Amino acid sequence: MRIAMIGTGYVGLVSGACFSDFGHHVTCVDKDAAKIDALHRGVMPIFEPGLDRLVERNVRGGRLSFTTDLGPAVADADAVFIAVGTPSRRGDGHADLSYVFGAAEEIARALAKPAVVVTKSTVPVGTGDEVERIIRETAPEAQAWVVSNPEFLREGAAIEDFKRPDRIVVGTDDERAADIMREVYRPLYLNKAPLVFTSRRTAELIKYAANAFLATKITFINEIADLCEVVGADVQDVSRGIGLDNRIGPKFLHAGPGYGGSCFPKDTLALLKTAEDHQAPLRIVEAVAKVNEARKRAMGRKVIQAMGGEARGKTVALLGLTFKPNTDDMRDAPSISIVQALQDAGARVRGYDPEGTEQARPLLPDVDFCDDPYDAAENADAVVLVTEWDVLRALDLKRLAATMAEPVLVDLRNVYPPEDVMSAGLQWYGVGRTAPNPG
């Protein structure tokens, strides 16, 4: 099949590359000429493990191409995917759908044969109805079926998620559109990935509900971690104890500094705004969003307490800056709030991240960026593990202790056993756990 992918951001580029790897012919369209030029040169606009090789292989095979010219790509397509950004709108928190609606209008003008127009972007309930209206009004003669097909990709594991999904959700009531979508995803037949057909509005809500539920699990275990610290329990044992219950499951039960990234903060807020507009308040999701936002800054206070309650004039090294490993995404990363809290208290901050430094620079002013975790730790009064990159999971703790001004390690991801940290001569502070008695 011939596919046009409108938008070469995280979702559009990964989806387009994977579809082409299935054997479809994919044209990725973006208005950013510099980005398209970079893609022609094999330079990826995002860091995602394996994406550069996937793109190179399919460009070489003639199945994947990039352009700024939407018209020919859409005119030749059997399926047109809208994968543009839907950031939070300034002032009210609603999803900004201007890029989606703009794309829909351009697509309508370019349609030259029957095609499905698929909303891949994360959009509020009812967006597909508006996309359909725009197409009908812009091009009354066009034969197009508007479908919702939300993405469920984890940054850092997106290619694996696309090729071996838990499920594929398709929102349409039109059997012709359903048949085209079956053909689009036919290469996944051998993987037996469930193809779930729903109404369009249901599909739109599934995406938001899934992200809100995962955000709730994260926030729940983070609050349990706070309780563990004051009662002397171990949150890792609690997580394991409840996660072994099949009704709960072990995923997203790792205590830490709070969630961030491109999805959970934005999508929970957009879901709350949709609920508010329809007078169906979501009190649990409201609490999740508030608790998570407060938690990220509270981690800065946790570091200050580990340094004896005083940060002025001290140096703190943050190891890992992106919101999670295996991505360069800094959107709503906990490190941003932690840095702000430390700088407000008078601390000097150094930072190290294996992939996210360039994205972090404009977001973390007055931070000294280092090329090595040990350089960041030199003469520091505290080292804080914020993001659990593989390269930070096996640090030489004795070397770390020897290079620091004060031997304080704050492990916000509970990567290191406290006994190992303390035996290396470091003071250990974790999340939801208390230090073992040295005796």
Averaged pLDDT, 380-393: 98
Both tokens of 425, joined, read: 């001569």
Backbone phi, then psi, for 320, in 5-degree steps? 90, 120
Beta strands in 288-344 (DSSP E): 315-319
d(Cα 343, Cα 312) in Å, to the nearest integer?
A: 9
Which 3 state secondary structure label does DSSP give 99?
helix
Contact in structure between 414 and 385 (CB atoms under 8 Å):
no
Select from 157, 176, 173, 174 the least CA-distant residue to 165. Answer: 157
Amino acid at 321: L
pLDDT for the residue 191: 72
Percent of the chain with pLDDT over 90: 95
For residue 288, give every residue at least 6 positions away whose Cβ sits within 8 Å of its Cβ, in sequence order, or none: 212, 215, 216, 219, 268
Domains of the chain: 2-198 (3.40.50.720), 209-439 (3.40.50.720)
**18 classed as catalytic:** no
116-172: per-residue pLDDT in tens? 999 999 999 999 999 999 999 999 999 999 999 999 999 999 999 999 999 999 999
Which 3 state secondary structure label does DSSP give 12?
helix
d(Cα 360, Cα 351) in Å, to the nearest integer?
A: 9
Q: How far is CA 255 from CA 297, 391, 427, in A?
A: 15, 20, 20
Number of alpha carbons in the 13 Å side-chain half-sphere of residue 423 = 6
The lowest-confidence range among 71-80, 133-142, 183-192, 284-293 is: 183-192
d(Cα 51, Cα 64) in Å, to the nearest integer?
A: 13
d(Cα 89, Cα 103) in Å, to the nearest integer?
A: 18
Quick count: other Cβ atoms within 10 Å of Cβ 98?
13
156-182: per-residue pLDDT in tens? 999 999 999 999 999 999 999 999 999
Catalytic position from the list 18, 28, 228, 263: 263
